[in-house]
Chain A
Amino acid sequence: MNEFIFLASRNNRQISLQIIKSFSVLILNTTNTTTLYYIFSNNFINQIVNNEYEKYDDDFLSYYVNFLKSLSLKIDNTTIQFFFQKQFFSFPLLESSLKLYNHSDPMIKNTVRNILLAILKSKKQIQNN
């Protein structure tokens, strides 16, 4: 995982794109919770999410938003803690997606909104519990 993070931080469009595509598929198709917890743990995913991909073109962004969406689909009462970095008081998944709130592509805009709603929904469930 560290190797992936190192590669993602090298600011190479092609490498970053491949990492994002692979992780989207990996996360969406992982059904075993232990495996999923392992992938989400140690801030591996947060570091990949946190890179500044906004500088790339819209093609890249649609893959990136798809990756964020696949992460948001796995959010529930338990997994949400993996996305919030308490020591840095930051929520990379939310912060990165909210940056795209005014994107001209309706698909990206709607995905961003869905991510926010998914996070708020899990917050509500935590409050209720």
Chain B
Amino acid sequence: MDYFSSLPSINYFAFLSCRLRDQIIKLNDEIFCDDQQNLKNIHDDLIDDILFFQDIFSLKLERITYILTNCLLFYVILPFLCGSLISMTKPRISISVSLYVFSCLIYYIKDENFINIIFLILFEENIIMSVKNYQVEKTRYLKGYYFDWSQQKKSNLKSFTNYIGMNFSEPFLKSLVLNNNSQYHEIQAIVKKYDKLTEENFEINNNSDINFDDNAVIQELMQDVLGKFSNSEFDVMAIHHQTLSKATGINIGLTTNNIKKGSPLYVINRMIKAKLNVLFIINSYY
């Protein structure tokens, strides 16, 4: 399993995209104020963020590029930039700011695929109409994300359920059994249980190792961990994983069905293919 395309590191790309979104909102709000120095600082931060995206794209790591493009489309480009262009009511950011950010993205990011997608979104009418699937409200909140460091420091995110929810993956669950010094008593209970199982295993089979490659063992471990969640906590975690899977285009954590089919790149690809098929049929007819 690739470390970067699983929890917790995949969160970072979503956080980066949300941060760019919040910088744009800040820029939009600051334009109407008189403080030019502050406006310049926010603008510099925004350009810094876009240049960092270009740095990541320039590494040409296929999977990372795919995740980052999906996140940018899901959290920034479709709901905010395109959403404000086609909004019939008062948009969250003004049309001029939206167009300016589009021009910055096109100017600073040199990744050919990314630029092609931006052009497609802007000039292909069917795609821009699909923006309604990515409304601002749906993409507004991301668990664990903080724009401000001081707020993140103050936050009370350190609970067993949050710890599991933000790290959930099969290798992570396996590693819990080895975590002797955990601060969470729920994990200590799991470690004790599996230590006991190991001892029993040794007495019966003369083999102390529990086979975590066995699907039944993994399922039991998963039940042990998830059994410590209340229904509402479990729902919160499941929704978080589903949203993140949709945003990144990769099945994450508890998400087992093909939720990535709702990811922006998948939807855009499907529309392009449908359009090409129609063009092919028309061409062959004439």
Contacts and interface: CB of A to CB of B under 8 A. Distances in A.
A122 to B, nearest CB: 11
Contacts of B150: 104
Nearest to B45: A106
A8 to B, nearest CB: 13
Interface string A89-122: 1110011001111111000000001001100110
Nearest to A97: B12
Contact of A102 (B1, B146, B178): B146
Interface in B144-181: 146-150, 152-153, 169, 171-172, 174-175, 178-179
Nearest to B58: A117
A123 interface: yes
Interface residues of A, number: 25
B60 interface: yes
Interface in A68-103: 84, 87-91, 94-95, 98-103
B17 to A, nearest CB: 12
B16 interface: yes
B199 to A, nearest CB: 20
Contacts of A54: 153
A95 B16 CA distance: 15
A102 B152 contact: yes
User: Per DSSP, are chain B's interface residues mostly helix, strand or loop, or mixed?
Assistant: helix
B52 A113 contact: yes
Nearest to A113: B52
A127 interface: yes
Contacts of B61: 120, 123-124, 127
Contacts of A104: 148-150
A75 B172 CA distance: 24
Interface of A: 54-55, 84, 87-91, 94-95, 98-104, 113, 116-117, 120-121, 123-124, 127
Given A87-B175, A102-B146, A103-B149, 6 more contacts: A54-B153, A89-B171, A95-B9, A98-B9, A100-B149, A116-B56
